[in-house]
A and B are shown apart, each in its own frame.
Chain A
């Protein structure tokens, strides 16, 4: 496989991107090709960027509590673009109780505060198609 391509995305209005940037840099250091969207992206913009950049992975970060609404929306829009195999993962301030519904909606894994970046790297390597 060529270099794994990852879109790191910030959906919604949340301005906290310390985590997104740290993860993006760690993924890059792990040898992935990383594109960061910057703040305040709509689900439509993220799905479009995922298609344009032909990524293998979409990694989203939300700390605002809007994840139940925005994560599934991105999954649906990415799938509608015919990207059936794209691995979609999320992270941020996400209560344990919200995780089953997010997984049901197609988020492959949810990474909560305290996760080492190596865990994200390992998960992508093991699950990317």
Chain B
């Protein structure tokens, strides 16, 4: 059928719509365009360049040739709370119940490089994740878990180098060589400045540590994903779908730039870069976002950086359902939200997925809630059919048009950020933060003005009993952790140690690390950190040395 004929029919349809609206007006606050037709998408001649086939450039339809027909995505539940022992039990429970990868949540002192006994850690130990002070805790965290078999993701950024070193050291104790280790460190400092807040050092030394990790892992831990460039937290902070992928890909460009500047060949490290998206409420927009993001990244890597290997151009992604969309009201409704978000992530072609639990607007999830969240993935995988055919929404006029729109919006932002001098400069100027804040405020006002309905919050509300049986991390966890730490620092054996740590060796390793920090970026910090970690130097001790040399990041505060 020719476009002319479609246009003529469309005009007739529009006339009919005008009449229908007279009788029954449409609901308010809907997207402007009510219907998509072949007129809204590129013709079939653009197919191979813009859409193509799964596993082939520009990867719009996915990064693997067979996608979930070969193997489902990794069902990776983010978990960690209280002590290493309690978290280890949760990990083993998840593996026993069909979880296929681990994902470690660390408490805030760990994420910001402070020991549990630091005054600033008071009240925070073991709260949002597990407290890790030294290799001794890491040994307990992975007790009876074969690091040669499992793949482990660690949500750790500013001190990622230290936690990775601890992981390598535990594996070595288990007899697993570093080149067999599989997993991911988040290691994405730029989004910490822009949206998540667990930064320590200023951008320059932070970028040096990150490129040091890229280089070290390319030689020693080749199966490890050295970074998870994260849009998740940008979205959680309030951005739109287009902003999520635009700001994140701009961050990605900054990391690639830094590594190339440090002398690396793009194809030596780009294949280990991974991404992290949010799966939000609007199912079809999310699917389009995943597809657009793969196409943008592929073009960036090929055209901007001249990557040669297809692997360097693939946007591989972990996904988490949107925490900020969980409601404290009628918490069981969150199960439905998470199921829809899961469907979006799967139709979007994610490589791994964490599903949130129904009670997370109230507290850390209980084991029962986590089980429902994991089962949600298993139901979508096995029962829904969504995983059986690759990229099932391709060719939908709406989804293809939206994929094109999100791609265009992302390019516009990337161009703007280039003009500001790149992602680091754009963050230092507060530009990215301001864009996110504006979107967050608009969202909140839309909810308050009922332009956006959230079930149980601004519509369909009801009186409820406060929920019972929430998980609570007792204050005694902090006290216990500090006691253990005091023993370690005093040179007493703890856990399975046969003798306590040698404080002279700790001092020497820290002094060596300090000297290495003072040198330029060609001095790779990883071997020095690994050495310090093996003496049972604590995370706080190591980060304090780095703080002394590198200084602290001063945040840009604006409203």
Cβ–Cβ < 8 Å partners of A13 in chain B: 108-109, 111-112, 114, 120-121, 124, 198
> B444, A117: Cβ atoms under 8 Å?
yes
Q: Are B361 and A15 in contact (CB under 8 A)?
A: no
Q: A12-B124, A66-B123 are in contact. Are A114 and B329 (CB under 8 A)?
A: yes
Supply 5 further A-B pairs (C-beta < 8 A) apart from A21-B440, A116-B448.
A12-B108, A15-B108, A22-B437, A96-B362, A97-B470
15 contacting pairs across A/B (C-beta < 8 A): A13-B112, A16-B236, A21-B437, A22-B441, A22-B444, A25-B559, A26-B444, A40-B197, A66-B123, A66-B127, A95-B362, A95-B466, A113-B327, A116-B448, A117-B444
Asked if B327 contacts A114 (CB within 8 A), the reply is yes
* Nearest chain A residue, comparing its CB with the CB of B329: A114
Rounded to whole angstroms, the CA-CA distance of A18 and B278 in the bound complex is: 16
Complex contact A65–B128 (CB within 8 A): yes
Alpha-carbon separation in the docked complex, A42 to B198 (Å): 15
Q: Which residue of A lies closest to B458 (CB)?
A: A116
Verify A12–B123 contact, CB threshold 8 A.
yes
B127, A28: Cβ atoms closer than 8 Å: no
Q: B197 is contacted by which of A39, A68, A97 (Cβ under 8 Å)?
A: A39
Nearest 6 CB-CB pairs, A to B? A15-B197, A69-B123, A96-B466, A13-B108, A38-B557, A66-B123
Instruction: Name the residue in A70, A113, A118 with the highest tally of chain B Cβ atoms < 10 Å from its Cβ.
Output: A113
Given contacts A13-B109, A66-B124, A112-B328, contact A21 B559 (CB under 8 A): yes
Q: Are B362 and A93 in contact (CB-based, < 8 A)?
A: yes
CA distance A75 to B192 in the complex (A): 29
Residues of B with C-beta under 8 A to A25: 437, 441, 559
B555 CB–A CB distance under 8 Å = yes
Is B282 part of the contact surface with A, judged by Cβ < 8 Å? no
In the complex, which residue of chain A has the Cβ closest to the Cβ of B478? A69
Q: B236 to A15, Cβ gap below 8 A?
A: no
Residues from chain B with a CB closer than 8 A to the CB of A68 are 123, 475
Chain A residues, Cβ within 8 Å of B362: 93, 95-96
CA distance A40 to B118 in the complex (A): 14
Asked whether A65 and B473 contact (CB < 8 A) given A38-B557, A97-B466, A112-B328, the answer is yes
A75-129, CB < 8 A from B: 93, 95-97, 112-114, 116-118
A94 to chain B, nearest CB (A): 9
Assess whether B467 is in contact with A64, with CB atoms less than 8 Å apart: no
Q: B457 an interface residue at 8 Å Cβ cutoff? A: yes
C-alpha gap A40/B403 in the complex (Å): 38
Nearest opposing residue in chain B for A8, CB measure: B559
Across the interface, which residues of A come within 8 angstroms of B363, CB to CB? Answer: 65, 93, 95
Residue of A nearest to B467 (CB): A96
Whether the Cβ atoms of B466 and A64 lie closer than 8 Å is no
Contacting pair B441 A93 (CB below 8 A): no
Question: Are the CB atoms of B108 and A64 closer together than 8 Å?
Answer: yes
Does A24 interact with chain B (Cβ within 8 Å)?
A: yes
Q: How far is the CB of A26 from the nearest CB of chain B, in Å?
A: 7
Bound form: Cα–Cα A26–B108 in Å: 28
Q: Is A34 an interface residue (CB 8 A)?
A: yes
Cβ 8 A contact of B324, one of A18, A34, A66, A117: A18
State in angstroms the CA–CA spacing of A114 and B329 once bound together.
8
Chain B: CB-nearest residue to A10: B197
Q: Is the CB of A28 within 8 A of B557?
A: no
The answer to whether B557 and A114 have CB atoms under 8 Å apart is: no
A41-70 residues at the B interface, CB under 8 angstroms? 42, 64-66, 68-70
Asked if residues A95 and B559 are in contact (CB atoms below 8 Å), the reply is no
* Chain A residues positioned under 8 Å from B448 (CB to CB): 116-118
| A22 engages B124 (CB within 8 Å) | no
B444 and A93 within 8 A (CB): no
Chain A interface category by residue count: 35 or more
Please tell me if B238 contacts chain A, counting CB pairs below 8 Å: yes
B196 at the interface (CB under 8 A from A): yes
Report A85 CB to chain B, min CB distance, Å.
25
What's the nearest-Cβ distance from chain B to residue A21, in Å? 5
Enumerate chain B residues within 8 angstroms of A113, measured Cβ to Cβ: 327-328, 361
CB closest chain-B residue, reference A66: B123
**Which residues of the other chain, A, contact B425 by a CB distance below 8 angstroms?**
none
A39 contacts which of B123, B128, B555 (Cβ < 8 Å)? B555
Within 8 A of A (CB), among B441-474: 441, 444, 447-448, 454, 456-458, 466-467, 470, 472-473
Choice from B109, B127, B197 contacting A65 with Cβ under 8 Å: B127
The listed residue (A24, A38, A95, A97) touching B555 by CB distance below 8 A is: A38
Q: What are the residues of chain B within 8 A of A18 when measuring CB–CB? A: 236-238, 324, 440
A12: which B residues are within 8 A, CB to CB? 108, 123-124
Report A-chain residues with C-beta under 8 Å of the C-beta of B475: 68-69
Contacts of A95 in B (CB 8 A): 362-363, 466, 470, 472
Task: Check B192 against A15 for contact (C-beta < 8 Å).
Answer: yes
Whether B559 pairs with A28 at a CB distance below 8 angstroms is yes
Within 8 A of A (CB), among B43-58: none
Q: Is the CB of B197 within 8 A of A22?
A: no
Chain A residues near B473 (CB-CB < 8 A): 65
Task: For the complex, give the distance between the alpha carbons of A34 and B558 in Å.
Answer: 11
**Whole-angstrom distance between the Cβ of A118 and the nearest chain B Cβ:** 7
B126 CB to nearest A CB, Å = 9
Give A42 to B467 CA distance when docked, in angstroms.
31
Bound-complex Cα distance A36 to B122 (A) = 23
A40 vs B111: C-alpha distance when bound (angstroms): 13
Of A25, A65, A69, A97, which is in contact with the most chain B CB atoms at under 10 Å from its CB? A65
Residue in B closest to A22 when the chains form the complex, CB atoms: B444
Nearest chain B CB to A41 CB, angstrom units: 11
Q: How far is the CB of A60 from chain B (nearest CB, A)?
A: 13
Alpha-carbon separation in the docked complex, A26 to B559 (Å): 10
A84 CB to nearest B CB, Å: 25
Of all chain A residues, the one with the shortest Cβ separation from B472 is A95
* CB neighbours of A39 from chain B (8 A): 197, 555
